[in-house]
Amino acid sequence: MTLDGDMYVRPGAGRQSEEQGSEQDGQRPNSKTELSRIEDAAERFLAALGVDLTTPGTVGTARRMARAYSELLTPIPFSATTFPNKEGYSELVLERRIPFTALCEHHFLPFSGHAYLGYLPAECVIGLSKLTRLVQFLARCPQVQERLTQQIADWLYERLRPRGVGVVVVAEHQCVAIRGVRASGTTTVTSALHGDLRTDWGQRREFFQLTGAVT
């Protein structure tokens, strides 16, 4: 994932407007050649597992699997729209329960949940929809929850230059729920803080109380 001006894009995906990214959600920028290679690999993988790919239900499984994984691993470009904080707003801005799904890089099984993003503005504020786009952009690659949480917080702190940033991520991991210990229903909570939300205990407490992420 790279920065191209104000547009955050996947390497090799080419420039694409935010509007195009929104309208074409579900259409991956991968070429037909790339998808064909992924499909061939998926077919070999399934065959190695002993899956019969000739039944009515499985004849197109490799193709669907290729498209599904391509979608999960292709970030949708977005523009980081910011605005001057002319009114001098100085209290917490908090976006709660931003949904996301990512692939755990250890087992390539999904983990899904919600992110809670807060920041104390300084000279600028960011469009609220961009907070959701940021989470979903960073989630669409092989991930671990700890890194995802830190990446979101670092991006906000470096890009907005706010007085403070706080991020909480709550997710259920299928690698825990359906294999190994098979502990379905367990959730993992991670957090990352910068600036006043890390050092000012009053601000820190307010952030965690307002998220309501953990009860």
Positions annotated as catalytic residues are: 104-107, 145, 173, 175
Which of 162, 166, 156, 213 lies closest to 192 in space, CA to CA? 166
CA-based Rg of the chain, rounded to a whole angstrom? 20
Distances (CA, A) of 3 to 6, 127, 139, 184: 7, 18, 16, 38
Helix axes 32-48, 61-72, angle to 10 degrees: 120
Distances (CA, A) of 126 to 17, 118, 177: 18, 11, 36
